């Protein structure tokens, strides 16, 4: 979902997860007790984030901890899209120019020979 820069990251989350279920992994910027309770009550989605330094520790299942670590790879991909494929550019004069730049950046990223991988093929071996 694309939003203006002055919109709080937590605001569009309920609209984005309407058709999802299960667990939602997010960064610490999405921490909010109100958002956590709304997602769990309304959509039956469990929000999983890291904890901030001023928060109490809570028990998290091992699988959730392992999957939360995979967020670093997702952040790497986003960084590559911004810098290498030059997707982050905010001076477009028309929505069509913006979409053309976005699609071209995604195509350029898909053509990259080496891309980060989540390695889900090796994940069950960690559990066994």
CB 87 within 8 A of CB 81: yes
Q: How far apart are CA 103 and CA 92, in angstroms?
A: 14
The phi, psi pair for 15, rounded to 5°, reads: -70, -35
- Beta-bridged to residue 22, according to DSSP, are 45
Interval 64-118: pLDDT, tens: 888 888 888 888 888 888 888 787 767 778 889 888 888 988 898 888 888 877 6
Query: Does pTM surpass 0.85?
Result: no
pLDDT range class, residue 122, cuts 50, 70, 90: low
Smallest Cα–Cα separation from 72: which of 120, 14, 123, 118?
118
């Amino acid at each position: 979902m694309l939003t203006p820069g002055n919109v709080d990251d937590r605001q569009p989350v309920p609209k984005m997860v309407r058709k999802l279920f299960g667990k939602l992994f997010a960064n610490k910027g999405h921490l909010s007790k109100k958002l956590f309770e709304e997602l769990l009550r309304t959509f039956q989605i469990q929000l999983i984030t890291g904890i901030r330094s001023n928060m109490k520790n809570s028990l998290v299942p091992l699988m959730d901890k392992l999957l939360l670590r995979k967020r670093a790879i997702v952040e790497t991909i986003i960084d590559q899209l911004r810098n290498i494929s030059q997707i982050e550019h905010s001076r477009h004069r028309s929505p069509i120019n913006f979409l053309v730049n976005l699609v071209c950046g995604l195509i350029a990223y898909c053509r990259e020979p080496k891309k980060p991988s989540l390695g889900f093929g090796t994940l069950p071996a960690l559990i066994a």
